[in-house]
Chains A and B, each alone.
Chain A
Amino acid sequence: MTFEESSTIVTHHKILLADDSVSIRKVVELTFADEGFDVTAVGDGDAAMQKFVEIQPDLVLVDVNLPGPSGYQICEMIKQDESTKSIPVVLLVGSFEPFDQTEAERVGADGFLTKPFQSIRELVSKVDELLGIDNPERAVIADTEDIDNLYVSSFAETIRVDDNLTANEYLSNGGMDDEMIEASYPADVPADAGTAFFVPGMEEREQVDPFDTLADTIDISIGKAGDEPPFEPRFVFDDAEPFPRFEDEETVSNEDTIHDEPVAETRDAVTKNISPELIALIAQKVVEKLSDKVVREIARDAVPRIAEKLIREALEEDNKG
């Protein structure tokens, strides 16, 4: 599964579009896909009603002059049902088609837009307004909330920090204070070790650049949204150094660390209980973060190595020659 595919998991708003114009369907699909929406587009009124029940959209865009039930009729059906009447419905009206505003109001439409749109941004703004979205970075915020929620449900109730308390209970009791956190870090941590990972209690407490070793040492398998349960995510930690191996319990020497439980057991708990959604979200976040700063860091590290390799190869070839 690619990270791009995993983004389907974090799509939050579903839009149902019913319009018999192929171009309008394509334009709306392209535009809203870029905005992080999941668009289902159909070309007639019957398909619209069928898909409405099937996908339970957050918003409906419907052409007033559709083959089969008209946009007005579809809107009326949605608004007459108690369970669906809160779903916003926007009517789309062709410039040269008759539009009955009184009828639109009677059936409870939440708005209408004329085609061709002045600008497609006009439609995006309307949708954002009706869905109560006013933050352009809404997707990022929502993802972060989801990560927090999934984190709690995946870990906090399942990982035990001692014999009596779950992580949630432990944290609600105050968790670690600053002194405990400081004590859990090795004493020789350089002040500029901002992005390095440290594992308390490792025999050789060397800095580990996570992005230097991450790709080589961790194999993360992620299931697609439609995968059949039970789906078992898989973390494989290999022996490559300097990434620390969790099995190295005997090397744990720092008595102040909170890892009283055998670390390998904790890893097993993580492996069993982590949800594929959480993995996908984290993976996506990692890719997003890779976009600028980290890519530069990786490039800074990788380019001299590649250059050195090429020079060596060239010299070897010269020597052979």
Chain B
Amino acid sequence: MSTDKHKIPKILVADDDPEILRLVRQVLESDGFSAVTAADGKEAYKLLQSEESFAAAILDLVMPFIEGRELVRYMQSERRLMKIPVIIMTTELSSRLSSDSFSSGAVAFLPKPFTDSQLRTTLGMFVASHKPGDVEKTR
């Protein structure tokens, strides 16, 4: 149905830093996405468990209650959540951390601090932009 085709894709953003949430939301919304935010891992998991379908998830590595990496592992226990591409935001990046996160199911890293364009580029690898202008260009 055309309504599904033009439905605004939802992106889950989880970080305990409200400033990051605000900035990411701003970028996502300006690109035509709908940002659903969570302040900790438990809240993020509850949102994932709701009937909402997310086009992608951008999770902070270190969050209260459930860490980003752990959350990715939980997502692997449900087929419908397994399909969601997960981008991990982190201030520290080591090879161990990377391999752990990738083996948990994360698909990309976004080192903090990041710029708007870094966020757009990383997300763009998995989800197409939904800005009305961009949709027109692809036609």
**Which A residues contact B (CB, under 8 angstroms)?**
21, 23-24, 26-27, 30-31, 34, 115-121
Contacts and interface: CB of A to CB of B under 8 A. Distances in A.
Contacts of B55: none
Contacts of A34: 46
Nearest to A118: B79
Given A26-B70, A27-B78, 11 more contacts: A23-B74, A23-B76, A23-B77, A24-B77, A27-B74, A30-B74, A31-B49, A116-B77, A116-B79, A118-B78, A120-B78
A117 B78 contact: yes
Nearest to A24: B77
A27 to B, nearest CB: 5
Interface string B18-56: 000000000000000000000000100110010000000
* Nearest 7 A/B pairs, CB to CB: A23-B73, A27-B77, A116-B77, A118-B79, A27-B74, A119-B80, A116-B79
Interface residues of B, number: 13
B74 to A, nearest CB: 5
A116 B74 contact: no
B128 interface: no
A240 B46 CA distance: 43
A116 B45 contact: no
28 contacts: A21-B77, A23-B73, A23-B77, A24-B77, A26-B70, A27-B74, A27-B78, A30-B45, A30-B74, A31-B49, A34-B46, A115-B77, A116-B76, A116-B77, A116-B78, A116-B79, A116-B82, A117-B77, A117-B78, A117-B79, A118-B78, A118-B79, A119-B78, A119-B79, A120-B49, A120-B77, A120-B78, A121-B49
Among B45, B73, B78, B79, residue most surrounded by chain A Cβ atoms (within 10 Å): B78
A119 B77 CA distance: 8
In terms of DSSP, what is the predominant structure of the interface of chain B?
helix
A116 B73 CA distance: 11
Nearest to A31: B49
A23 B74 CA distance: 6
A116 B49 CA distance: 14
Contacts of A116: 76-79, 82
Contacts of A23: 73-74, 76-77
A27 B76 CA distance: 10
B45 to A, nearest CB: 7
Contacts of B73: 23
Contacts of B77: 21, 23-24, 27, 115-117, 120
A118 B83 CA distance: 11
A120 B82 CA distance: 12
Contacts of A121: 49
Contacts of A120: 49, 77-78
A31 B80 CA distance: 16
Nearest to B45: A30
A225 B42 CA distance: 26
B124 to A, nearest CB: 28
Contacts of B79: 116-119
Among A24, A30, A34, residue most surrounded by chain B Cβ atoms (within 10 Å): A30
B134 to A, nearest CB: 32
Contacts of B74: 23, 26-27, 30
B22 to A, nearest CB: 27
A267 B46 CA distance: 44
